[in-house]
Structure 1
Amino acid sequence: MDSTPAHPSAAPLPLAVDGYPAAGGVTRRAAGPAESARANRGWWDAAAPAYLAEHGGDLGDADFLWCPEGLREADAHLLGEVAGRRVLEIGCGSAPCSRWLRTAGASPVALDVSGGMLARAAELNRSTGIAVPLLQADAGALPLADASVDLACSAFGGLPFVADATAVLTEVARVLRPGGRLVASVNHPMRWPMPDSPDPADLRVVSSYFDRAPYVETDEAGTTVYVEHHRTIGDWVRAVVGAGFVLGDLIEPEWTPGRTETWGQWSPERGALMPGTLILVCHLPG
């Protein structure tokens, strides 16, 4: 497997003063799989330096952080025994989770749609001396053989950004061996109808929880540059079951005592009042 990622997009998006791609407009409307994948590939290519400068210290170079609440796989053991297992990480970013899995004795494959993120992952492979195979691909079309991995994981990876969650989960089920486990963390659906703010004073409903229209950012020319999809808890359960998985647990991590990190609308103050993350723990029959 080629462990050298493809180059980032040739024409990066214009950046705002904070280093993230500048949004010319924001709307709520339908956005299909191709539009979502194209937009988010370009957005993460452009956003990778700013995102990793802001959060890379918390993510670590070889660590497995499930969520902004601070839950780590070393403590939670949601994947079970990983030593000797082949693991697919979906939406790996700079691949700290896959490098942690490698140190725990697993054989991970780190996949992401963004060449910009994978370029940083390749740099960290070299600097840490913990080399994991890197694969640039869309989660909806995994370039892996049927029944070729034992475990799959996604820590705020591709799932919030795909238009058809059931189709992606069906792809994951295809590459997992019978009895294989999938664990994925996503934005808690209750975050969607509230403002994107860490301040507890902003815990107020400003839109409908049941409005599934994607959040879409456009550039000055009206071209889509970012898409995020909302699903209710029931939607996630139906997607998991519809893809052939058995849902074993739904975890809503509580804020880790003493943790002071703020990520967007995740904060210690807000985390003490409501969940910010939903973790799906499921497996295939057999």
Structure 2
Amino acid sequence: MIQEPASSAFTTGPHSGHAPGPAAEPEATRRDAGVTESARANRGWWDRNADEYQTEHGTFLGDDRFVWGPEGLDEVEAELLGPPEDLKGKEVLEIGAGAAQCARWLAAQGARPVALDLSHRQLQHALRIGGGFPLVCADAGALPFADGSFDLACSAYGALPFVADPVLVLKEVRRVLRPGGRFVFSVTHPIRWAFPDEPGPEGLTLSSSYFDRTPYVEQDESGRAVYVEHHRTLGDRVRDIVAAGFRLVDLVEPEWPAWNSSEWGGWSPLRGNLVPGTAIFVCARD
């Protein structure tokens, strides 16, 4: 959810440019946050902010586009899941689906998608737009599907940036894929964590260590986390993929296209022409 939780939810945290919810301004800090705390905080954040998110970004995302990130790379051109004509009849799981824009595009290609998200409110937006495919509210670390249920899985900024144990999620995705299946997911490019989350010139100066994996946490006055994002280096992501039993087929770093003049948190034409903002991992389940 640009997950989101941006598939259709690209990261929206302070390292991704989300606006605070209606409650008092939370305190931003870097501290440890485990699996349970991260899931609870992010479920609450997305339930509270889904309406604002869809209002602000719905036009860019569309109702039935498959966009991999704020750069605007579209699956119809990228074909990271394969040629569109080969998607017909494929059972596809979208993780961190938000309003299920990607699943809706997949359905239009003749695929049989299932859209899953941690946030009930995000899925209400998916239901509002419609599509006729199943919507499932569940944690990506405990997928409620039998082994080998899907041919393909995808996630555009869904789940992976927000979980404390990405290997657990990757293993779950591999479990529900059939042999020969593919999982493609996009996340904030790890290098972005070294820069301020600003789209202008002030966002071009290194401000923190790329190697600091301490989670970004927003917490209320009692110290309770209300939003969590987890940073992994590029090498960490590759090792996580391998540890989960996948084979890394490709790593795509979308360049900022000339047509895209929009800003989204720290993403912008200025930043995008100098620093990668998104990393897309194409993984095979042998």
SS of 1:238 mapped into structure 2: helix
Structure 1: how far apart are the matches of 2:94 and 2:23?
25
User: CA 1:194–1:17 in structure 2 vs 1: closer, same or farther (change >3 Å)?
Assistant: closer
From 86, 101, 117, the equivalent of 2:91 is 86
User: CA 1:35–1:18 in structure 2 vs 1: closer, same or farther (change >3 Å)?
Assistant: closer
Once superposed, what is the RMSD of the aligned Cα atoms?
1.4
Q: Percent identity?
A: 59
1:20: Cα distance to partner? 5.8
1:258: Cα distance to partner? 1.3
Structure 2: how far apart are the matches of 1:149 and 1:92?
16
Conservation of the 8 A alpha-carbon contact between 2:196 and 2:202: no
The one-letter amino acid paired with 1:87 is V
Structure 2 partner of 1:23: 25
SS of 1:111 mapped into structure 2: strand
Conservation of the 8 A alpha-carbon contact between 2:203 and 2:271: no
Where does the alignment leave 5 or more consecutive residues of structure 1 unmatched? 1-15
Write out per-residue CA displacement over residues 190-216 of structure 1, whole angstroms, 9 at most, x where no aligned residue. 000110100134211111111101000
Structure 2: how far apart are the matches of 1:39 and 1:61?
27
1:1-286 counterparts in 2 under 5 A? Answer: 19=21, 22-80=24-82, 81-125=86-130, 130-285=131-286
Structure 2: how far apart are the matches of 1:59 and 1:40?
21
Tell me the number of residue pairs that the alignment of Structure 1 and Structure 2 aligns: 266
Conservation of the 8 A alpha-carbon contact between 1:18 and 1:50: no
1:118: Cα distance to partner? 0.6
User: CA 1:247–1:175 in structure 2 vs 1: closer, same or farther (change >3 Å)?
Assistant: same
Where does the alignment leave 5 or more consecutive residues of structure 2 unmatched? 1-17
The one-letter amino acid paired with 2:219 is T
1:77: Cα distance to partner? 0.6
SS of 1:211 mapped into structure 2: coil
Write out per-residue CA displacement over residues 134-192 of structure 1, whole angstroms, 9 at most, x where no aligned residue. 00000000000001100000001111000001111000000000110000000000000
Runs of 4+, deviation exceeding 6 Å = none
User: CA 1:213–1:59 in structure 2 vs 1: closer, same or farther (change >3 Å)?
Assistant: same
Structure 1: how far apart are the matches of 2:19 and 2:70?
24
Structure 1: how far apart are the matches of 2:261 and 2:22?
23
Structure 1: how far apart are the matches of 2:162 and 2:186?
13
The one-letter amino acid paired with 1:92 is A
The one-letter amino acid paired with 1:266 is W
Structure 1: how far apart are the matches of 2:204 and 2:24?
26
The one-letter amino acid paired with 1:253 is P
1:229: Cα distance to partner? 0.1
SS of 1:192 mapped into structure 2: helix
TM norm structure 2: 0.90
The one-letter amino acid paired with 1:62 is D
Structure 2 partner of 1:7: none
TM norm structure 1: 0.90
User: CA 1:19–1:211 in structure 2 vs 1: closer, same or farther (change >3 Å)?
Assistant: closer
Structure 2: how far apart are the matches of 1:268 and 1:172?
33
1:82: Cα distance to partner? 1.4
Structure 2: how far apart are the matches of 1:265 and 1:250?
21
User: CA 1:21–1:277 in structure 2 vs 1: closer, same or farther (change >3 Å)?
Assistant: farther
SS of 1:244 mapped into structure 2: coil
Structure 2: how far apart are the matches of 1:57 and 1:93?
14
